[in-house]
Amino acid sequence: MSIAKLLEKWSKVRPNSYLIPGVMTYEQARDRVARLASKIPERGVVAHFMFNSAESVLSYIAGFWAGTKVVAIDPLTSAEDLRFILEDSSPDMILVDQETLSREKEVLKDFKAVIPSFEGEVKERPEEYNDNTPGLSYYYAGIAGRTMEVIHSGSRVEFNDRVLYESIGLSRISTILTVPIAHVLGNSVLGVTLEAGGQLIPVKKFDPVQASEMINTNNVNFLATVPMVYDSLIERGHGLQSLEVCISTAAPLFPNTVKGFKEKFGKDIIQQYGFTEGLVLTLQPRDITGIITIGKPLKHVDIKVVMEDGKDAMPGEVGELWAKAPWLMLGYKDTKENDRVWYNGWLKTGDLVSIDERGLLFFKGVKKRMLKYKGYPIFPRDLESILLTHPAVEKAEVVGEDAGNLGQEPVAKVTLRKKVSEQELLDYVNSKVAFYKKLKRIYIVNKLE
């Protein structure tokens, strides 16, 4: 199975039902996806580098229809970050929109970048994936803590979507896509929608007033997004009576967000937990509310909490979460890194948790070197590497400073070989990275520990 096979299924079962409300039925979506897939090199590598839109959703599915390995690239990726991903993944084709093409034309001119066309010949049937066929890759290697390819099976990704959909407990899914489809969260929202034969509204830039109108007008019943979206809905949203399941993920959820959303809309927020290498692994049961928990393992997921001394943690003790699941990554492209994160079939997540007598998991922090800002992962090693290419920098250390519900802002401490201003170093780094990775401050120090 793959998400392309799901589209094919519903185009036959519910051809006139809308995939994108008022814009495109399943039959129309299937036709356009099949036409684009005919232009994509079969079993090749295609990069998806587009902002959320109807065209972006179709282009993403078309990569699976063609049986390719889809390289999912956040549309805000820029400059050296983008070049590294493209040179490392060597795509046969990059699917872009006008905005990404214009903004990154200097990088993209060295590759085959194409604005999708949904006309022409039809590739009648989607290609098949087996469990070990690479079908999707990300460049957020959270456990390893650096930008590196994480490779997934196309069929295993769909299996994760299926189990998550069954665990959510809604037969009908109508939702909005508030985060880039290139994220694990964005992919799972699309996947859950396709499992249900439901409706999806792509949102390019989130605005709480507009989002509220979409939710109210389209009878949206499912929302899975990041905590800052819920905060903005508390501040400026309205209505939302149709929502039945509200999931928060990708960043820490604070009690004031849960309390504020409940007070304003009468809705509970529950959490799911996942990450690039493992996809979605846990979900908070809908009948357990009023506490901040990442829930219990999904069906087919085995977990254990391991202490520093290698012993299993007792209830209430904090340790590293280890997991087994049939949809974990196939591995890193950098095979040397695989030995560091796997142990006898267990994936060592780098996340610290505790578990109580009910089997509920509680997130307690991270062992790995990764920051989260506005739901985006930031790897200090990436920023340190850029700083160290500046001729004035001797040593560099990037850490996170508290930014409230936004997460942690990246800041750097550096020692120098020769005099340079903090602003020059900020400009040097920030011209090379996406907005969410930009350093907020640089501290010049005499020595680093």
- Does the pLDDT value for residue 367 go beyond 90? no
Statement: the pTM of the whole predicted model exceeds 0.85: yes
CATH code, residues 3-355: 3.40.50.12780
What is the rounded distance in angstroms from the CA atom of residue 312 to the CA atom of residue 318?
A: 10
- Does the pLDDT value for residue 404 go beyond 90? no
pLDDT digits (tens, 9 = 90+) for 294-333: 999 999 999 999 999 999 999 999 999 999 999 999 999 9
- Does the pLDDT value for residue 372 go beyond 90? no
pLDDT digits (tens, 9 = 90+) for 124-137: 999 999 999 999 99
DSSP assignment letter at 354: E
What pLDDT, on a 0 to 100 scale, did the predictor assign at position 368?
A: 80
Q: Which residues contact 272 (CB under 8 A, 6 or more apart)?
A: 164, 224, 247, 248, 249, 280, 282, 283, 284, 294, 295
> What is the chain's mean pLDDT, rounded?
95
pLDDT confidence tier of residue 155, bands split at 50, 70 and 90: very high
- Does the pLDDT value for residue 366 go beyond 90? no
pLDDT digits (tens, 9 = 90+) for 247-280: 999 988 999 999 999 999 999 999 999 999 999 9
Q: CB–CB of 303/321 below 8 Å?
A: yes
What pLDDT, on a 0 to 100 scale, did the predictor assign at position 449?
A: 78
pLDDT digits (tens, 9 = 90+) for 26-35: 999 999 999 9
- Does the pLDDT value for residue 369 go beyond 90? no
pLDDT confidence tier of residue 434, bands split at 50, 70 and 90: confident
What pLDDT, on a 0 to 100 scale, did the predictor assign at position 141?
A: 85
Q: CB–CB of 27/11 below 8 Å?
A: yes
What is the rounded distance in angstroms from the CA atom of residue 289 to the CA atom of residue 131?
A: 36
- Does the pLDDT value for residue 354 go beyond 90? yes
What is the rounded distance in angstroms from the CA atom of residue 360 to the CA atom of residue 291?
A: 10
User: DSSP per residue over 250-277, as a string?
Assistant: SSPPPHHHHHHHHHHH---EEEEEEETT
What pLDDT, on a 0 to 100 scale, did the predictor assign at position 30?
A: 98
Q: Which CATH superfamily hosts domain 371-444? A: ANL, C-terminal domain (3.30.300.30)
pLDDT digits (tens, 9 = 90+) for 187-234: 999 999 999 999 999 999 999 999 999 999 999 999 999 999 999 999
Buried b vs exposed e over 354-369: b needs ≥16 C-beta within 10 Å? bbeeeebbbbeebbbb
Domain map (residue ranges) of the chain? 3-355, 371-444
Q: Which of 83-87, 157-161, 374-378, 415-419 has the lowest mean pLDDT?
A: 374-378
Please state the rounded mean pLDDT for residues 415-439.
93
- Does the pLDDT value for residue 5 go beyond 90? yes
What is the rounded distance in angstroms from the CA atom of residue 147 to the CA atom of residue 138?
A: 9
Cα angle 82, 52, 245 (rounded to 5 degrees) comes to: 120
pLDDT digits (tens, 9 = 90+) for 11-64: 999 999 999 999 999 999 999 999 999 999 999 999 999 999 999 999 999 999
What pLDDT, on a 0 to 100 scale, did the predictor assign at position 349?
A: 97
Q: CB–CB of 137/69 below 8 Å?
A: yes
What is the rounded distance in angstroms from the CA atom of residue 218 to the CA atom of residue 213?
A: 8
**CB count in 10 Å sphere of residue 306:** 17
The three state secondary structure string of 28-92 is HHHHHHHHHHCCCCCCCEEEEECCCCHHHHHHHHHHHHCCCEEEECCCCCCHHHHHHHHHHHCCC
What is the rounded distance in angstroms from the CA atom of residue 396 to the CA atom of residue 412?
A: 7
What pLDDT, on a 0 to 100 scale, did the predictor assign at position 176?
A: 98
pLDDT digits (tens, 9 = 90+) for 223-237: 999 999 999 999 999
What pLDDT, on a 0 to 100 scale, did the predictor assign at position 117?
A: 96
- Does the pLDDT value for residue 142 go beyond 90? no
What pLDDT, on a 0 to 100 scale, did the predictor assign at position 418?
A: 94
What pLDDT, on a 0 to 100 scale, did the predictor assign at position 1?
A: 87
What pLDDT, on a 0 to 100 scale, did the predictor assign at position 144?
A: 84
- Does the pLDDT value for residue 4 go beyond 90? yes
What pLDDT, on a 0 to 100 scale, did the predictor assign at position 11?
A: 98
Q: Alpha helices of 266-356 — where are they, by DSSP H?
A: 335-341
What pLDDT, on a 0 to 100 scale, did the predictor assign at position 374?
A: 84
